[in-house]
Amino acid sequence: MNILPRLIFLFSSIPMQFPQKWFRAINKEFTTFLWKEKRSRISLRKLSIPRKSGGLGVPDMYTYYLALNAQYPLTWAYKKDPCEIGSWSWLEQKVVLDTCKNISIASFWYKPKCDKRIQNPIIKFSCEIAQAIHKRLKINGLSLPSCPIWNNLLFTAGGQPLANDSWKNKNIRTLGQILHGAEIMPFQQLKTIFNLSDTHFFQYMQFKAILSSFQFTNINEYLDNQLQTAINSRNTVSKLYKLLSHGFFEYCGAIMEQWEKDLETNITEEEWETILRQSNYISKCVRYKLIQLKILFRSYITPQKMYKMNCSASDLCWHGCGMTGTLIHLLWQCPEVKNFWGKIKDALLVIIVVYITVIVLFPKL
């Protein structure tokens, strides 16, 4: 498939915003190709779930667009020495400093709302990408422990960002250093850890007052570390794509509920993860994999579904047992199907001379 590199080349060569209309058109082309111009049975967003999470790993172009362009705002925040002289970030930092003094380019990742005075289209675009990533990962700058305290537009006093050299000299730089859970540490504790003097108490109270205006809901240290690792290692784009990809749990809540209802049991998150991981590796045969996928996503057209589409059709089981043709009935409950599995068991007894018990795993079955 050489279409993906061609599209990736487009995204990565020009830092500019692509309209959502364009992504919708591309997705439509993908769906038409995959389902041979027929109506799709499994939506593209479900097929784009990574293979390890139960999907088919069909590339999602919007996620690639985010992952490719996320490199720039993430470099501001996480790259070791982002402002190396001559680097792209160094140029951007200069543009910011020329317009708004005392604001670090790193803070734009945590508060991706570009100041009105900054007219640079590339910085503005990177801020828009950062906003989209925050929305996708359900984070904000305050939920990341690496959020810088100084020269950050999030924390201002008298309209100016905080810039306290005496605290900086004590090596206090990020929010994670001074928070305990979702609250700022007591002054005595900070005093001991960072060797502060009593003269720092005024700044402590000032900062505490600023922080009290925010609501800390979720401090996401894990994600913060993941983003930092991604930007400082090889295969940055592929790591970011994995982080930004939606999983089965986000898209398939209704399917999970229906399975639990049918099987009359609760399936834990760990059990789901095992099911999803195995669904793609259960067989090497593509046909069996497809069957597994269709069962997992409940995409088979059953008599019950046919009846919902067209009331003149019957919703009864095709085997003539007189019961409603639901998915679970057709797969297991129907007497004809049970009879079939009985014959398989007998055939195996003859061939491999082993008696196999047909196990009933769930109460309803």
Other beta carbons within 10 angstroms of residue 300's beta carbon come to 13
Closest distance between Zn ion and the C-beta of residue 9, in Å? Answer: 53
The reply to whether 327 sits near Zn ion by the rule CB under 5 A is: no
Measure the CA–CA gap between 345 and 350, rounded to whole angstroms: 9
The reply to whether 242 sits near Zn ion by the rule CB under 5 A is: no
Based on CB atoms, which residue is closest to Zn ion, 214 or 318? 318
Based on CB atoms, which residue is closest to Zn ion, 196 or 327? 327
Beta partners for residue 179, in sequence order: 184
Q: Is 172 exposed, middle or buried (0-12, 13-18, 19+ CB in 10 A)?
A: buried
Number of residues that bind Zn ion (CB under 5 A): 4
Closest distance between Zn ion and the C-beta of residue 340, in Å? Answer: 11
The reply to whether 365 sits near Zn ion by the rule CB under 5 A is: no
Residue of 191, 242, 294, 319 that binds Zn ion (CB under 5 A): 319
Integer angstrom CA distances of residue 343 from 52, 195, 352, 354: 34, 78, 14, 14
The reply to whether 321 sits near Zn ion by the rule CB under 5 A is: yes
Based on CB atoms, which residue is closest to Zn ion, 56 or 321? 321
Other beta carbons within 10 angstroms of residue 143's beta carbon come to 21
The reply to whether 334 sits near Zn ion by the rule CB under 5 A is: yes
Based on CB atoms, which residue is closest to Zn ion, 257 or 336? 336
Query: Euclidean distance between the first and final Cα of the chain, in Å?
Result: 43
In 3D, which of 234, 54, 80 has the Cα closest to residue 146?
Answer: 80
Measure the CA–CA gap between 330 and 323, rounded to whole angstroms: 10
Based on CB atoms, which residue is closest to Zn ion, 321 or 365? 321
Written as one letter, the residue type at 332 is: W
The reply to whether 10 sits near Zn ion by the rule CB under 5 A is: no
Of 155-163, 170-178, 216-224, 320-328, which segment contacts Zn ion by CB under 5 A?
A: 320-328
Of 116-124, 236-244, 245-253, 312-320, which segment contacts Zn ion by CB under 5 A?
A: 312-320
**What residues line the site for Zn ion (CB under 5 A)?**
317, 319, 321, 334
